[in-house]
Structure 1
Amino acid sequence: DKLVFRHDAFWANHFGGVYVFLDEKTTTVICDPSVPGFRRSRPWQVGYISLSDHQRIYEFLASTNRLQLPQASWVQDSGLYQHRADMALRALVNQADPTTDLNAIDAIWLQTWIHRNSALVSADGVYPFLQTMIRTIAASGSIKMQDVAPENRFLLVRAAPDHPDQWLTNRLIAQLCPSDFVSRFVFDKQGFYAAYEQYSEKFREYVVATLTSTYLRDKLAFRKRLYGLKEDNTNA
């Protein structure tokens, strides 16, 4: 009755998902603000952040050194930005026409589609934003995050690979970048399968084919390249 199992950081599938991060003197809880007890339980010890408050989530993760901020040294080698841009673009193609066979299209088809659907691409904003950031990092070697809108910042970062909370942090980032279904499959299986249920039949076929040809082909190499992770995780 006195045995205690301490978790330094964890995710719990309660109230739609709750993230708990422990630091030396404080505990930070990130979840839906409608959760019972939000900002009322031990406010002198626990900091509460809404899952929709991208600004505060970013500030918390950055200030506690849980994020790897944009630098050309890792961004260009990882291919993460292009990966997320491709995911966002193909999600838009499916949104515009759920019957499109995404496994049968090529780069030329996509460029033509972008020109024909420029209003939709511009309104969503993710693809052109990431293309701009790819050019910025190539030209200057870094990105001034203070100039980036809070809701776009998580497209540009990954968990600090040397931080013990790297898996939980990457899970949170994946949830905040829903169009990147590959990252969601790697770090947030529950969120991935919930989203998968809503996909069109053609998009499901594309998702399965993409996961099979990328992550599932060599999990360790894929995680090392995209996310900088050097060690395996038995739950992955």
Structure 2
Amino acid sequence: MKRLIEKGLMFGNLVEVSSPALIDRYNRALAHLTGKRTELTDFHIDISGFSPEVGEELGDERYLNPNGCNRQFILLTTAQKSAPLLNVTFSTSRGILRQFIEANEAQLFALTARDAVAGELANSVFEVSSPTRLLDIRQITIEADTIGGHVADAAKLAQKIERFRQEPAGWRDDVLIAEMIGMAKKTGDVTRVPIALPKMTFEQANFWTSHFGGLYVFRDVKLPAVISVMPQSGLEGLVMDLSSRNRIADWLERCGLVEPIVKARAMDSAAVLRQKMDFILVDAADALNLDLGLATRNDLRKIARQLGAALPEEFQGLSRLLAWVEGGGDWPRITSEHPAYFYTLRARAHADRDLVNMLLSQLAPLDVRQMFITHKELFYSSYASWSDRKRGYVADFLEREYMVDKAGARRALFGAEPAMDEAERAAPKAKSRRTHLAGPWGPARKGRR
């Protein structure tokens, strides 16, 4: 992983904590939430306040997320909103934290100038001992305050001020006046500068979770479903696992969640197909211990000639599709049974676009660029199992082709960010419930389209 860290592909954009004042605030918050403290004099934190260095020191990578479903957080600065979320257990957590910070940025800026803010992404589920418990998670609620309780005290002070104003004899109540003066020394003048962090609730309809080997839960679609990375026994009737390729392809089509990359607007589908083919070749060459050379496209063509008929089916399918795109071949019949099928798709523009692209990266695991962008947890676990030869190629590629223009690369691959109302427009009415073999344009058809 050292190579990824050096290239900014891992632990990038973390917030440095090195001043004694911030370390002291962090320790107060840490003790408040967990009863633990750190002796480190500098470390880095993610959007939730989790630090990989502190986790290593404590021997607990989940010190802010002990049960895996109610993540606690520590905010030292509003700059954390741009940081990643490490050790992700729910795909929605980072988005919820970012929305919370942005919605309360002015208040949080003022509060973190004097103390750390701590809170929790709370839901009604406190343990996930079985997959069915995950289906009980409907909403996530955030409640937060400074360690010194400034928000709670400000609310109490506001109540006392209102009582002082409403009660006819309030100006003669020496005890009330003394209490207000004492609290105002801590909170400041809340009549001029109100302090409030309202409770915020977020819907969690569709999400991915790392629990039980990885589950994709889709409830807010025309045909609700759970897709499991591993075979599951606790969700009979709802669940499909990754081996159910035909059912998943049929479900994606009927819910209107995907589109073929060769029909995507403003997309250079030929260039994308070539790059996917390069990744497949690198994996095939690495499995056979072939020399990658400098891993240029010419080097990869030589490897393709060496492999000949032994070329992976994914490569052959995409090659035929590329020939069709460039006008030099017949329309290929690539059904959902074909290993190349999910490499030909991307998510439509809708509210859950990133979640669907995340699922597609799990179904098309040789496309390492899409995996890195949409599913960091899967990428890092896969990277650990690769040879040093493949690690070097992938890390160099991502540094050269992705890191220089992240937004541009995402836009080229997945399109512009979808508007919030596009989710309703994107999904057509559900078709027949019969499972069929789907092609890149829907049902497989004979001949050129």
What does 1:165-180 align with in structure 2 at a 5 Å threshold?
Answer: 165-180=352-367
1:132 lines up with 2:320 in the alignment: yes
Equivalent residues of 2:358, 2:375 under 8 A apart:
yes
Q: Given the superposition, is the C-alpha separation of residues 25 and 87 from structure 1 closer, same or farther in structure 2, using an over 3 Å criterion?
A: closer
Displacement of 1:72 in angstroms is 4.3
How many residues of Structure 1 are paired with residues of Structure 2 in the alignment? 220
Identify which of 300, 315, 319 aligns with 1:110.
300
After alignment, is 212-221 or 106-115 more displaced? 106-115
Equivalent residue, structure 2, for 1:228? 415
Residue deviations 1:200-236 (CA, integer Å, cap 9, x gap): 11211111101101121111100100121437xxxxx
DSSP 3-state at the match of 2:216: strand
Identify which of 219, 222, 227 aligns with 1:22.
219
Equivalent residues of 1:54, 1:150 under 8 A apart:
no
What does 1:179-190 align with in structure 2 at a 5 Å threshold?
Answer: 179-190=366-377
Displacement of 1:92 in angstroms is 1.1
Displacement of 1:71 in angstroms is 3.7
Displacement of 1:24 in angstroms is 5.4
After alignment, is 29-38 or 1-10 more displaced? 1-10
Displacement of 1:137 in angstroms is 2.7
Equivalent residue, structure 2, for 1:234? none
DSSP 3-state at the match of 1:29: strand
Residue deviations 1:97-147 (CA, integer Å, cap 9, x gap): 16x355x133333323222221331xx21212111101123339x967675
Equivalent residues of 1:30, 1:48 under 8 A apart:
yes
* Identity %, equivalent residues: 25
Identify which of 158, 172, 190 aligns with 2:346.
158
**Alpha-carbon distance in 2 for matches of 1:67, 1:128:** 22
After alignment, is 177-186 or 63-72 more displaced? 63-72
DSSP 3-state at the match of 1:52: coil
**Alpha-carbon distance in 2 for matches of 1:4, 1:226:** 31
**Alpha-carbon distance in 1 for matches of 2:229, 2:297:** 39
- The residue type equivalent to 2:234 in the other structure is G
Q: Given the superposition, is the C-alpha separation of residues 34 and 130 from structure 1 closer, same or farther in structure 2, using an over 3 Å criterion?
A: closer
- The residue type equivalent to 1:22 in the other structure is R
Equivalent residue, structure 1, for 2:281? 89
- The residue type equivalent to 1:61 in the other structure is L
TM-score, normalised relative to structure 1: 0.82
**Alpha-carbon distance in 1 for matches of 2:222, 2:302:** 54
- The residue type equivalent to 2:279 in the other structure is M
Equivalent residues of 1:70, 1:143 under 8 A apart:
no
Q: Given the superposition, is the C-alpha separation of residues 151 and 38 from structure 1 closer, same or farther in structure 2, using an over 3 Å criterion?
A: farther
- The residue type equivalent to 1:221 in the other structure is G
1:48 lines up with 2:239 in the alignment: yes
Equivalent residue, structure 1, for 2:402? 215
Q: Given the superposition, is the C-alpha separation of residues 127 and 33 from structure 1 closer, same or farther in structure 2, using an over 3 Å criterion?
A: closer
**Alpha-carbon distance in 1 for matches of 2:221, 2:213:** 27
TM-score, normalised relative to structure 2: 0.45
Equivalent residues of 1:133, 1:143 under 8 A apart:
yes
**Alpha-carbon distance in 2 for matches of 1:222, 1:76:** 11
**Alpha-carbon distance in 1 for matches of 2:243, 2:396:** 31
- The residue type equivalent to 1:21 in the other structure is F
Displacement of 1:33 in angstroms is 5.7
Displacement of 1:32 in angstroms is 4.2
What does 1:1-16 align with in structure 2 at a 5 Å threshold?
Answer: 4-5=139-140, 6-16=203-213
Displacement of 1:151 in angstroms is 3.6
Equivalent residues of 2:278, 2:300 under 8 A apart:
no
Q: Given the superposition, is the C-alpha separation of residues 60 and 148 from structure 1 closer, same or farther in structure 2, using an over 3 Å criterion?
A: closer
**Alpha-carbon distance in 1 for matches of 2:241, 2:361:** 16
Displacement of 1:87 in angstroms is 0.7
Equivalent residues of 1:58, 1:150 under 8 A apart:
no
Structure 2: stretches of 5+ with no match in the other structure: 1-122, 125-137, 141-202, 419-449
- The residue type equivalent to 2:327 in the other structure is A
DSSP 3-state at the match of 2:343: coil
Higher RCO, 1 vs 2 (CA within 8 Å, ≥6 residues apart):
1
Residue deviations 1:31-69 (CA, integer Å, cap 9, x gap): 046324121xxx5xxx32122111111111111111012
Displacement of 1:155 in angstroms is 1.0
After alignment, is 108-117 or 67-76 more displaced? 67-76
Task: Supply the RMSD in Å over aligned alpha carbons.
Answer: 2.8
DSSP 3-state at the match of 2:386: coil
Q: Given the superposition, is the C-alpha separation of residues 157 and 66 from structure 1 closer, same or farther in structure 2, using an over 3 Å criterion?
A: same
**Alpha-carbon distance in 1 for matches of 2:375, 2:361:** 7
Structure 1: stretches of 5+ with no match in the other structure: 232-236
DSSP 3-state at the match of 1:94: helix
**Alpha-carbon distance in 2 for matches of 1:91, 1:24:** 35
**Alpha-carbon distance in 1 for matches of 2:224, 2:375:** 22
Q: Given the superposition, is the C-alpha separation of residues 167 and 96 from structure 1 closer, same or farther in structure 2, using an over 3 Å criterion?
A: same
